[in-house]
Amino acid sequence: MTPLARSALIAVIGVIAVGTAVYVIQKPLGTVGPPALSPSVPPASPAASALGPSLAGTWDAEFTHDQFVAAGLVDTAEDNTENWGHFRMLFTPAADGASGAFRIMQLDGPQASGSGTYTTAGSTLTIHCSGWCDTDAVFVLSFTLTPTTLTITPPAPATFRVEPWVRVR
């Protein structure tokens, strides 16, 4: 075989190899792996169906002093300007999804804030908090959750339960 023919053959083999690689890379995902489910059968989502909505994200609640007092105070010491107004809670999950970092801040008034960690187990939310929450406070709260609303029920401190918290993001 002449050197020219050998070079031509190598070039043809290279073009075929590159073309095959490009074809495989660009192949639509629906044609790779097991057959897709029929459009009439929605795919199962273990996270959504088994666990429900996620607590992860940013939640806001806003209420007046009158609404705060009407919710019923757990302790008379709760009745101070750091406990009513516009609040934001952030839940940043850890890898397990059932625990993570917690932060709460008052967006108006004295702008009090606190931070710590949280865990969930079923409908129980446990917050370990310091700062606004007092040093090393632990709140064990019952809650219900929809994709857009977090509702904390008594006997939680009033600030957590005056109004349902609305998902901001």
Locate the domains of the chain by residue range. Answer: 53-167
Residue 11 has pLDDT above 50, yes or no: no
Average pLDDT along the chain: 80
93 in Cβ contact with 102 (< 8 Å): no
At 36 the pLDDT is: 43
pTM for this predicted structure? 0.68
Mean pLDDT of the 29-57 span? 51
The three-state secondary structure class of 38 is coil
Token code pair at residue 20: 């095959």
Rounded to 5°, the CA angle 119-146-141 comes to 35
Token code pair at residue 19: 């073309």
**Percent of the chain with pLDDT strictly greater than 70:** 70
Mean pLDDT of the 157-168 span? 97
Q: Which fold has domain 53-167?
A: Lipocalin (2.40.128)
At 6 the pLDDT is: 56
At 136 the pLDDT is: 85
b (16+ CB within 10 A) / e for 85-124: bebbbbbebeeeeebbebbbbbeeeeebbbbbebbbeeee
- Measured CA to CA, the distance from residue 55 to residue 114 in angstroms comes to 18
